[in-house]
């Protein structure tokens, strides 16, 4: 029997509570490497206040143990031998009103890597353990402060590549997506309760064949389909628009890439066949992240290295969200250009007529109904228009309240949708309450995978392993 349908999983709503609670106290440097004005060292766990108290002497004489929660104190941090390590601010955030839900202490020190390391060492020799990557956030998750979608939002916020991605991530942390999911979950739970009542009290509660429930479940399905339909947008906003520059050799693809990046990232030479491998780099245009790939020029070269490069160009072009088809406007079209045009037909694309600083010799009739932009990668004239066209083609529209941003989320929601469809079909076919309950639990299970209640540990660990230490 599929273990997801096993009645033992009835307790799925509480499975997070039974997950092992972490009982030791962890410490880490929470700020980035290198010299900065301020650096933060953070402690979380049952011993956090005691350990910090032993090493911190406030100027006012107030002990951290007695300090008011969320109130900064100024003082000195000492090592266990009493030697002064730094002058710093300390703040206690008592459970459950903290990021992790545990007692948390933060030291705001001088932002020197040497100072921060010394403070961390003192905390560890006083009984704290060095935190694993993402362990603070993991504790927040285990303690119910954040669900898994919010955790992913925290990660997306840290690694946001664009303003749009930041807006989406911060709403995810705030719970906009979780809220949408929770509403669906509550409806499913209410339906399940009804089903169970009809099993337990068959005389009093009729089996749910009513239109009311069908409508409710259809409503959920609509919301799910809406989320799934918009998911590609969320993924594109988060990951960046996969944009591939294609064109025949020497038209100025690498020059254009460098112009868009405002840095000489790719090698440019007058020799045809300069770029052999795909070169990737990210940039932000008008708040939207683009992942640019410069590729080897399309040619009928017999050089094996170049041919391999061209094979890779074709493969990358096929996967792209957006193609920039680059043409040399100072020369008549060649056969290879026509091949490039055929590539553009497969994807959303912009025709870029490069070298607009030179006399025009290209015949543009062939581009008639396409989106065409004239630029010079050397003088950068027309670059604004190209960037505007790229943002338009990206079709990210107005920022949405909440969107799925990861294939993992899409997978869990698709599975939920399938299970909800099965329930609806079951209701229509007049299936017994027992059968309906099984499909409903399956739907709730998959919804729980999304928010973390029923997500397999390997996937949870995978998500946290991508966090940095101290977060
Ligand atoms: N006048 C002028 N020359 C350009 C422009 N863009 C590129 N070039 C020149 O064209 C030549 C080829 O430029 P690349 O950027 O290497 O062209 P590519 O398409 O990447 O070439 P491959 O990697 O060989 O396929 C270089 O000599 C550039 O300086 C432009 O806008 N105007
Ligand atoms: Mg090149």
Q: Is residue 18 part of a domain?
A: no
Domain at 42, CATH number? 3.30.1360.120
Q: What local confidence, expressed as pLDDT, does residue 312 receive?
A: 87
Domain at 332, CATH number? 3.40.50.300
Q: 378: CA distance to ligand 1 center in Å?
A: 8
Domain match, 250 and 228 both: no
Q: How far apart are CA 281 and CA 117, in angstroms?
A: 33
Q: What local confidence, expressed as pLDDT, does residue 315 receive?
A: 92
For the chain, what is the domain count?
3
8-state DSSP, 71: -
Give the mean pLDDT per block of 10 residues along the chain (471 residues).
34 36 86 94 97 98 97 97 96 97 97 97 96 92 94 95 94 94 92 89 80 87 94 93 96 97 93 90 95 92 83 91 97 94 93 98 92 97 98 87 93 96 89 89 94 90 86 86
Domain match, 390 and 420 both: no
Domain match, 367 and 250 both: yes
From 377, 382, 386, the mutation candidate for ligand 1 (largest count of ligand atoms within 8 A of CB) is 377
Domain-terminating residue out of 332, 365, 394:
394
Ligand closest to 331 (CA) is 1
Q: How far apart are CA 153 and CA 146, in angstroms?
A: 10
Q: Is residue 418 part of a domain?
A: yes
Domain match, 346 and 294 both: yes
Q: Is residue 14 part of a domain?
A: no
Ligand closest to 380 (CA) is 1
Q: Which residue has the tokens 């353990």?
A: 129
Q: 328: CA distance to ligand 2 center in Å?
A: 13
Ligand closest to 298 (CA) is 1
Q: What local confidence, expressed as pLDDT, does residue 11 receive?
A: 34
Q: Give pTM, 2 decimals.
A: 0.84
Q: Which of 150, 223, 143 is nearest to 185 (CA)?
A: 223
Written as six digits, the tokens of 393 are 């083609």
Q: 268: CA distance to ligand 1 center in Å?
A: 6
Domain match, 289 and 380 both: yes
User: Rounded to 5 degrees, what are φ and ψ at 67?
Assistant: -65, 150
Domain match, 247 and 356 both: yes
Instruction: Give tens-digit pLDDT for 143-163.
Output: 999 999 999 999 999 999 999
Q: Is residue 6 part of a domain?
A: no
Q: 260: CA distance to ligand 2 center in Å?
A: 14
From 244, 247, 250, the mutation candidate for ligand 1 (largest count of ligand atoms within 8 A of CB) is 250
Domain match, 217 and 350 both: no
Q: Closest ligand 1 atom to the C-alpha of 375? A: 31
Domain at 216, CATH number? 1.20.120.430
Q: Closest ligand 1 atom to the C-alpha of 248? A: 25
Domain match, 175 and 268 both: no
Q: Is residue 350 part of a domain?
A: yes
Domain match, 380 and 436 both: no
Instruction: Give tens-digit pLDDT for 394-436.
Output: 998 877 788 999 999 999 999 999 999 999 998 888 888 888 8
Q: How far apart are CA 201 and CA 44, in angstroms?
A: 48
Q: What local confidence, expressed as pLDDT, does residue 4 receive?
A: 38
Q: Is residue 301 part of a domain?
A: yes
Q: How far apart are CA 140 and CA 238, in angstroms?
A: 23
Q: Which residue has the tokens 């920039």?
A: 324
Q: How far apart are CA 249 and CA 306, in angstroms?
A: 10
Q: Closest ligand 1 atom to the C-alpha of 356? A: 31
Domain-terminating residue out of 361, 394, 427:
394
Domain-terminating residue out of 394, 417, 446:
394
Q: Closest ligand 1 atom to the C-alpha of 251? A: 19
Q: Which residue has the tokens 């693809």?
A: 253
Q: What local confidence, expressed as pLDDT, does residue 22 receive?
A: 67
Q: Is residue 289 part of a domain?
A: yes
Instruction: Give tens-digit pLDDT for 287-312.
Output: 999 999 999 999 887 888 888 888 88
Q: 352: CA distance to ligand 1 center in Å?
A: 13
Q: CB within 8 A of 426, min separation 6: which ones?
A: 435, 436, 439
Q: Which of 383, 387, 342 is nearest to 366 (CA)?
A: 342
8-state DSSP, 300: -
Q: What local confidence, expressed as pLDDT, does residue 55 receive?
A: 98
Residues with CB under 6 A from ligand 1: 247, 249-255, 268-270, 272-275, 297, 354-355, 357-358, 376-378
Written as six digits, the tokens of 433 are 């309450």
Residue pair 321/348 in contact (Cβ under 8 Å)? The answer is yes
Q: Is residue 176 part of a domain?
A: yes
Domain match, 253 and 380 both: yes
Domain match, 413 and 382 both: no
Ligand closest to 296 (CA) is 1
Q: What local confidence, expressed as pLDDT, does residue 19 receive?
A: 43
Domain match, 196 and 312 both: no
Q: Which of 304, 257, 252, 256 is nearest to 276 (CA)?
A: 304
User: Rounded to 5 degrees, what are φ and ψ at 91?
Assistant: -140, 135
Range of the domain at 283: 243-394
Q: How far apart are CA 150 and CA 52, in angstroms?
A: 29
């Amino acid at each position: 029997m599929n273990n997801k349908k096993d009645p033992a999983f009835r307790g799925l709503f509480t499975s997070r509570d039974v997950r092992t609670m972490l009982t030791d106290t962890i410490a880490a440097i929470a700020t980035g490497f290198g010299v900065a004005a301020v650096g933060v060292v953070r402690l979380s766990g049952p011993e956090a206040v005691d350990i910090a108290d032993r090493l911190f002497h406030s100027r006012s004489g107030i002990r951290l143990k007695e300090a008011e929660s969320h109130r900064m104190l100024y003082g000195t941090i000492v090592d266990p031998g009493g030697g002064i390590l730094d002058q710093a601010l300390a703040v206690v955030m008592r459970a459950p009103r903290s990021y992790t839900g545990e007692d948390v202490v933060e030291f705001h020190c001088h932002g020197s890597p040497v100072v921060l390391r010394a403070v961390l060492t003192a905390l560890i020799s006083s009984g704290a353990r060095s935190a694993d990557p993402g362990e603070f956030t993991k504790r927040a998750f285990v303690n119910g402060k954040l669900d898994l979608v919010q955790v992913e939002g925290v990660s997306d916020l840290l690694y946001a590549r664009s303003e749009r991605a930041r807006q989406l991530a911060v709403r995810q942390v705030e719970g906009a997506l979780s809220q949408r999911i929770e509403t669906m979950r509550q409806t499913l739970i209410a339906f399940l309760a009804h089903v169970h009542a009809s099993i337990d009290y068959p005389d009093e509660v009729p089996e749910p064949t009513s239109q009311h429930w069908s409508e409710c479940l259809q409503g959920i399905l609509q919301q799910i389909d809406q989320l799934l339909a918009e998911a590609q947008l969320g993924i594109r906003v988060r990951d960046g628009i996969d944009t591939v520059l294609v064109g025949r050799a020497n038209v100025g693809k690498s020059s254009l890439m460098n112009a868009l990046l405002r840095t000489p990232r790719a090698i440019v030479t007058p020799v045809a066949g300069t770029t052999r491998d795909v070169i990737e780099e990210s940039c932000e245009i008008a708040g939207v992240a683009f992942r640019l790939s410069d590729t080897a020029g399309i040619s009928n070269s017999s050089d094996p290295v170049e041919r391999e490069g061209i094979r890779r160009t074709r493969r990358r072009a096929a996967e792209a969200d957006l193609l920039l088809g680059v043409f040399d406007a100072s020369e008549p079209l060649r056969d290879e250009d026509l091949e490039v045009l055929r590539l553009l037909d497969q994807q959303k694309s912009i025709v870029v007529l490069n070298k607009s600083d030179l006399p025009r010799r290209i015949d543009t009739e062939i581009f008639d109904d396409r989106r065409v932009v004239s630029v010079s990668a050397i003088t950068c004239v027309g670059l604004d228009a190209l960037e505007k066209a790229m943002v338009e083609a990206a079709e990210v529209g107005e920022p949405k309240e909440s969107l799925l941003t990861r294939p993992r989320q899409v997978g869990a929601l698709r599975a939920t949708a399938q299970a909800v469809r099965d329930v609806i079909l079951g209701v229509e076919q007049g299936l017994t309450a027992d059968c309906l309950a099984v499909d409903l639990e399956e739907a709730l299970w998959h919804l729980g995978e999304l928010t973390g209640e029923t997500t397999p540990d390997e996937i949870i660990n995978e998500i946290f392993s991508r966090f940095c230490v101290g977060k």
